[in-house]
Amino acid sequence: MEIICPIDEQFAPQISALLQSPPSQIAQEYFDNLLATRNCHGIRVKVDGHIGKGVYADAEFKAGELVLKDQMLVGSQHTENKMDCYVCASCFRFIGSIELQIGRKLYFDRLGVPSGNHCHSDSSNGEDDSCVVENNHGECSTSGSQNKIPLSQEFIESLVDGQFSLPYSEKFPLPVPTPCCGWCGEEYYCSQHCAKIDWETSHSLLCMGEKSKLSRRKALSKFVEHANDTNDIFILAAKVIAMTVLRYKNLKEAHLKEVGLESNNATVDLSLLLESWKPVSMGYKKRWWDCIALPEDVDEIDEVAFRLEIKQLAFESLQLLKVAIYDEECAPLFSLDIYGHIIGMFELNNLDLVVASPIEDYFIYVDDLPESQKKEAEALTRPILDALGDGYSICCQGTAFYPIQSCMNHSCCPNAKAFKREEDKDGRATVVALCPIQVGDEVTISYIDEDLPYEERQKLLADYGFRCKCAKCIEEANN
């Protein structure tokens, strides 16, 4: 069955221009400026028209030293993870209080809401550019204990509304939640600053609060429901389109003010649209239905049908999004081809968004208290810990795209890795050196588990479109 999107035909030249790879010089200037504005010291992005992009050291790094701290271009918390972790919708820092975090989790557990799950469809790749971002405590815990101890509803409510204070929780202060500028009741932030950034970047188009028209709220609700039922990667794609539309509007307003003109037409200004699209153009590679890995339960003879099914899923999502936020001046952005490339960018270049839970730090602190203080504190905290079960320390989990980190190439013997340190409390990507890195060395990470056997590694890396020829692979291939 052929899937036809009228916009792809109507705006074919503009869409083709958007999907052209940026010239090497333009890309190099973009990354040079990005590194300068983000104060990333000791590294540079090198753009080569033949081999693509890579990150190289301009300074020496010792093993364990921070190489990069990168701000995401766009990111989103997994839908069901919101039941476990109450975080800023912009920087993903935990907000509220230790009591509120624990109370919310106990409340949703009591309602029988599944914890720790990712709202992904079975078609998800299951791989990402840097695997899981570990933290100083190791892997994130997941829920699933069958021996949880019930607590009274009254006690849980006292935690949520701040009427009950846990011992020593003041040593783990969290920012007071700030509501969304549109009062949607869905997104909260760690500060007015983060709320403003998110509103101006994308949320003003995706908010379902009172500031939005009723028709838009209803349309967005249907779009989000579809994403939650299928794959929440669509919410990320919507953020990218909203971000680009708003960048276009701002650029056009500034341009018209500069030349002293007013515009009443809704024709596409391609030069401004290309400039608005530039941050995304640096990251995408292939369309989602072309690059998604074939699940193990799908036979190769059914591959064509599977990829068509994925394309149809994207088409359905796009149609729902168009009803909600379609903008005539930015019509090419609502093409299926563009939508597929945006989702493909996350499929191939995303990094797990992980922020360690302060709940874990809190219980570790109590456990490390002197015996007399510990016994007194645990009289209150032990029943709570038992009620939470083994999912007490679930991290904030989601998906994000980081423009500089995504330029790092793969090696099965990498000299760096994505790793959250104890002081990293938000959603920024941190990359640390695994071994000494010299000036001029390429900084590499592993996209997969590099401890797997050679053939398994090559099979997994084939999903990324290349065959690894690092020193480790060359040596193992010859043995």
Q: What angle do CA 47, 52, 56 make, to 5 degrees?
A: 55
Residue type at 220 in one-letter notation = L
d(Cα 254, Cα 258) in Å, to the nearest integer?
6
d(Cα 45, Cα 26) in Å, to the nearest integer?
13
Q: What angle do CA 19, 121, 337 make, to 5 degrees?
A: 15
What local confidence, expressed as pLDDT, does residue 142 receive? Answer: 46
User: Which of 139, 103, 167, 101 has its CA nearest to residue 366?
Assistant: 167
> Tokens in use for 95?
């907000």
d(Cα 217, Cα 206) in Å, to the nearest integer?
8
User: Which of 341, 360, 419 has its CA nearest to residue 131?
Assistant: 419
Query: What is the percent of the chain where pLDDT is above 90?
Result: 71
What local confidence, expressed as pLDDT, does residue 110 receive? Answer: 81
Q: Which residues lie below 8 Å from residue 58, measured CB to CB, with a gap of 6+?
A: 42, 43, 44, 439
pLDDT tens profile 205-228? 999 998 888 999 999 999 999 999
Q: Half-sphere exposure (CA, 13 Å, Cβ side) for 95? A: 23
What is the distance, to the nearest Å, from the Cα of residue 177 to the centroid of all Cα atoms in its chain?
A: 21
What local confidence, expressed as pLDDT, does residue 256 receive? Answer: 85
pLDDT tens profile 50-67? 668 999 999 999 999 999
What local confidence, expressed as pLDDT, does residue 234 receive? Answer: 97
Evaluate whether 348 touches 285 at the Cβ level (below 8 Å). Answer: yes
Q: Per residue in 12-43, is it b (16+ CB within 10 Å) or e — as a string?
A: eebbeebbeebeeeebbebbeebbeeeebebb
> Tokens in use for 275?
């400039």
3-class state of residue 435 by DSSP: coil
Helices (H) and strands (E) in the chain, counts: 17, 12
For the chain, list residues with pLDDT below 70. Answer: 1-2, 49-51, 112-149, 263-266, 350
What number of other Cβ atoms are within 10 A of residue 250's Cβ? Answer: 13
What local confidence, expressed as pLDDT, does residue 259 receive? Answer: 80
Residue type at 105 in one-letter notation = K
> Is residue 396 within a helix (H) or strand (E), and if so which, with residue range?
strand 396-401
Largest CA distance in the chain: 74
What's the per-residue H, E or C state across 329-359?
HHHHHHCHHHHHHHHHHHHHHCEEEEECCHH
What local confidence, expressed as pLDDT, does residue 114 receive? Answer: 53
User: Which of 294, 277, 399, 293 has its CA nearest to residue 338?
Assistant: 277
Q: What angle do CA 362, 368, 369 make, to 5 degrees?
A: 95
3-class state of residue 77 by DSSP: strand
d(Cα 168, Cα 295) in Å, to the nearest integer?
47
Partners of 66 in the β-ladder: 432
What local confidence, expressed as pLDDT, does residue 257 receive? Answer: 85
What local confidence, expressed as pLDDT, does residue 255 receive? Answer: 86
Partners of 433 in the β-ladder: 416
Residue listed under structure tokens 């914890």: 115
Domain boundaries, the chain: 6-37+72-401
